[in-house]
Amino acid sequence: MSARLSSLPVLAAAALVVLSGCASTPTTEPTALAPTEDVVEIEADAAWLDGGRMIGLVTWGSSSCVPTVEDTAMLDNGTLVVSLLEPEEGTACTRDLAPRATLVDVPEAVDPTQDLEIEVTGSGIMGDAELDGVAGLASGGETDYLPSAGWVDDDGMFVVLTWGSSGCPPVLQDAVATGPAEVTVTFENPPADQVCTADMAPRSTLVTVDGVEEDAGAVAILTGSSEFADVRVDIIGGD
């Protein structure tokens, strides 16, 4: 991962190895690194989205400052490494500790029908997540720009992916279990004079709900906002 931190003694030792091993064959393959005293281990979870073309990567921090993806890479052992980039220094962030969902494009080398190990790193952080494979998913190809949703490995939590103006993401009002395997997700109706960017971007919304008895095969009904008129979306994953 491109944002790992290392101490000076480690770098010096690495330099000696390079100087003494000139006959060895160099490699450009990424390798996993162990935590150091300068790296904080974080909690991370993940969910499949967009039919397997995206992952919703959940980390904890300021709810108003969601990290973005700086880079992704595949290790030789099949682990997906995701390097996160925090907002620029000086960005005003709320001082809360909440789960946030970062959207990650899935490399075509990943098979979403198989279990996936994810390593998360960034400036001074390191974490990992496991994502169970789901039959019928596939990475690569063009998105259909339709809403999707995926369960996180945490009771009652899932990520909703929607497409539209990046300047006017949907705002969650509430989520209620309206059946054994059904959740009604209500978004706030934006003000009529709201000014939005004229782009088509992916937006993530993290939802937590109580009372769902059967998460496998569950459905989310998106409603409330003028963008969504009782749109039914299968929630990917679940036991």
Strands 116-122 and 125-131, how do they pair?
antiparallel
Q: Tell me, what's the pLDDT at 16?
A: 33
pLDDT of residue 155: 86
Is 112 in contact with 138 (CB distance < 8 Å)?
A: yes
Q: Quote the CA–CA distance of 80 and 236 in Å, as a whole number.
A: 20
Which residues of the chain have a pLDDT value below 50? 1-29, 31-33
134 in Cβ contact with 96 (< 8 Å): no
Query: Residue 225: what pLDDT?
Result: 87
* pLDDT recorded at residue 35: 52
What is the C-alpha end-to-end distance of the chain, expressed in Å?
Answer: 31
**Per-residue pLDDT, 115:** 98
Beta bridge partners of 223: 186
Cα four-point dihedral sign 211, 151, 205, 229: negative
Q: Residue 19: its pLDDT value, please?
A: 34
- CA separation for the pair 55, 62 (Å, rounded): 20
Rounded Cα distance between 78 and 216, Å, is 26
Q: Give me the pLDDT at residue 226, please.
A: 84
pLDDT in tens, 116-140: 999 999 989 999 999 999 999 999 9
Nearest in space to 183 (alpha carbons), one of 154, 153, 159, 164: 159
Q: 101 burial class (0-12, 13-18, 19+ CB within 10 angstroms)? A: buried
Cα 8 to chain centroid, rounded:
32
Q: Rounded to whole angstroms, how far apart are CA atoms 122 and 168?
A: 27
Nearest Cα to 117, choosing from 55, 59, 172, 53? 55
pLDDT of the residue at 26: 38
Q: Tell me how far apart the alpha carbons of residues 113 and 138 are, in angstroms, rounded to a whole number.
A: 7
Looking at the whole model, is its pTM more than 0.85? no
